[in-house]
């Protein structure tokens, strides 16, 4: 009985204390400190919620204090929302009588959803302040968000409440067809540089139609999203040379997470899928980042596809995955892919000139270039590789073997490397006789460091100390490099004309 009474009394005391947590607090005197004076919420798109950002608030005094009020300067009309130590407050806008213990801290988490109408017309900034207390004790933390006005493209809701889908073989995926007469956006088959585009799900080009991307177009893909070009349809990516580091005339495909922490994270979205039978596809001056597979080129209708001045980075599987395709590439740069930067599988015909295929993915299974004439389980199992030609290229990476030739009998396997820098440890294999097999290899530089400027940030410029400097053959010259700089003679290997590194 005594034990029960004691437990009862203890519970009463604890309940009383918990109800009077502010019993011994003193009023805030305006001496709070903050982890940041300004919270910058990185670029968000109109009508889409931002990521959540943290602000830490410190009480360095010896007293438990009571903060009478925490609110936004714009009050209930603020486009920001916050939680304070997990509490929602008044719809995430205002908090009263917040206790902060001595020598302790609390977290404020902030996010926003902004419309372009709430921004300044010249800078597209939305700003506010978090106010702590008022009057003489008022303290403020600035909030700044860059808002990018965007066109949102996404699957519609069907009458039964389900989401619009696309048929892919025997399956269906969340997606929709682009409409050249859309009542809201107008011609969805024309991507201009007037606004950014954000795509949810897979956008598909109708058969016999062409999707065109004008210079400076910006397309951001949400998770599990991408673009599909089916049979008889076409894609024309018409980027052009830029004059600044902002790549103002490039066409850019990327994930829709714009904060810096996501700048180099692979696998944020799906792929650009050019299905078998798509036709007259062209790509020029494209920068593609952070996909699962950058370009998935699944054959075509017999027309060779040009890919020029294109950069592909940070893909969980492949930069370019081609199956029995016809591709002619110039000034291509690919890096950091989970399996292969360039994979030419199941035959086809390929020619790459002045291109840099690197792979610094942290796995010994990755390679920069993979070439095969088969796919396991396919019918037929092999197809002719009628040509895989590499001229004035660099094939390099972080591991000892960055090129894999994978062939089976029953189909042709024709390949040739001319004036290339290659990293390979397969010198005992008869398919990799770089010095004594002139049918397949000419003027190969083996296992020499090209001394890229900074591959960690995908900068593959070289200078005159590089092993690739002036080692190219003028027969295969592409007069301008990937940046539009005139190549000197003899040309350098790879996609970049050499220049002194910045100091």
- Radius of gyration over alpha carbons of the chain, in Å? 29
pLDDT at 5 over 90: no
| CA neighbours closer than 13 Å in the CB half-sphere of residue 220 | 22
Tokens of residue 115, six digits: 């419309």
Q: How far is CA 354 from CA 74, 143, 270, 432, in A?
A: 55, 46, 28, 21
Q: Which two tokens stand for residue 159?
A: 């009458």
Cβ pair 163, 157 in contact under 8 A: yes
pLDDT tens for residues 288-313?
999 999 999 998 788 999 999 999 99
Nearest Cα neighbor of 131 from 96, 176, 102, 169 is 96
What pLDDT, in 10s, does the model give residues 29-50?
A: 889 999 988 888 767 787 777 8
Dihedral of the alpha carbons of 154, 160, 162, 165, in degrees to the nearest 10: -70
- Lowest pLDDT segment from 15-19, 360-364, 396-400, 479-483: 15-19
Residue 123 — very low, low, confident or very high, per pLDDT cuts 50/70/90?
Answer: low
- Chain-centre distance for alpha carbon 84: 32
Residue 340 exposed, middle or buried by CB count within 10 Å (0-12, 13-18, 19+): buried
pLDDT in tens, 340-360: 999 999 999 999 999 999 999
| Cα 442 from chain centre | 36
Residue indicated by tokens 């990185």: 42
Alpha carbon distance 182, 197 (integer Å) = 15
Cα–Cα distance, 315 to 292 (Å, whole number): 5
Percentage of the chain beyond pLDDT 70 is: 93
Predicted confidence at residue 351, as pLDDT, reads: 98
Say whether 429 sits in a helix, a strand or coil: coil
CB-hemisphere CA count at 13 Å for 208? 0
Cα–Cα distance for residue pair 106/89, rounded to 1 Å: 14
**pLDDT at position 11 over 70:** no
Q: Calculate what percentage of the chain has a pLDDT beyond 90.
A: 73
Q: Does domain 26-148 have CATH number 2.40.10.340?
A: no
Q: What angle do CA 415, 410, 437 make, to 5 degrees?
A: 30
């Amino acid at each position: 009985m005594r034990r029960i009474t004691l437990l009862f009394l203890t519970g009463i005391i604890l309940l009383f204390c918990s109800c009077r947590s502010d019993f011994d607090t003193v009023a805030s005197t305006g001496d709070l400190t903050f982890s940041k004076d300004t919270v910058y919420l990185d670029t968000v798109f109109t009508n889409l919620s931002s990521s959540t950002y943290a602000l830490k608030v410190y009480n360095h005094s010896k007293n438990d204090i009571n903060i009478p009020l925490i609110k936004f300067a714009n009050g209930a009309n603020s486009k920001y929302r916050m939680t304070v130590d997990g509490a929602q407050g008044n719809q995430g806008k205002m908090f009263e009588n917040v206790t902060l213990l001595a020598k302790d801290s609390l977290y404020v988490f902030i996010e926003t959803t902004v419309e372009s109408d709430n921004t300044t017309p010249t800078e597209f900034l939305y700003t506010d302040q978090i106010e702590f207390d008022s009057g003489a004790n008022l303290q403020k933390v600035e909030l700044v968000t860059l808002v990018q006005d965007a066109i949102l493209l996404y699957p519609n809701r069907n009458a039964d409440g389900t989401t619009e889908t696309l048929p892919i073989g025997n399956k269906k995926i969340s997606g929709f067809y682009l409409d050249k007469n859309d009542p809201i956006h107008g011609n969805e088959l024309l991507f201009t540089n007037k606004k950014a585009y954000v795509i949810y799900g897979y956008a598909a080009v109708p058969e016999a139609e062409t999707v065109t991307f004008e210079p400076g177009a910006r397309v951001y893909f949400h998770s599990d999203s991408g673009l599909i070009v089916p049979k008889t349809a076409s894609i024309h990516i018409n980027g052009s040379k830029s004059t600044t580091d902002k790549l103002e005339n490039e066409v850019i495909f990327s994930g829709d997470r714009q904060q810096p922490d996501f700048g180099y994270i692979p696998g944020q979205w799906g792929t650009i899928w050019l299905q078998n039978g798509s036709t007259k596809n062209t790509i020029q001056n494209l920068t593609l980042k952070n996909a699962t597979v950058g370009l998935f080129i699944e054959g075509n209708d017999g027309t060779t596809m040009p890919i020029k001045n294109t950069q592909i980075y940070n893909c969980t599987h492949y930069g370019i995955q081609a199956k029995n395709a016809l591709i002619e590439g110039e000034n291509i740069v690919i890096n950091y892919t989970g399996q292969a930067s360039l994979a030419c599988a199941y035959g086809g015909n390929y020619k790459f000139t002045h291109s840099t295929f690197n792979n610094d993915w942290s796995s010994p299974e990755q390679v920069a270039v993979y070439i095969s004439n088969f796919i396991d389980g396919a019918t037929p199992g092999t197809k002719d590789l009628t040509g895989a030609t590499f001229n004035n290229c660099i094939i390099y990476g972080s591991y000892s073997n960055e090129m894999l030739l994978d062939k089976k009998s029953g189909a042709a396997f024709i390949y040739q490397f001319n004036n290339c820098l290659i990293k390979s440890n397969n010198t005992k294999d008869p398919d990799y006789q770089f010095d004594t097999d002139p049918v397949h290899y000419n003027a190969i530089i083996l296992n020499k460091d090209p001394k890229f400027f900074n591959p960690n940030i995908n900068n593959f410029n070289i200078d005159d100390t590089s092993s690739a400097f002036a080692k190219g053959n003028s027969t295969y010259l592409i007069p301008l490099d990937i940046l539009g700089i005139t190549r000197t003679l003899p040309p350098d290997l790879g996609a970049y004309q050499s220049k002194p590194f910045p100091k």
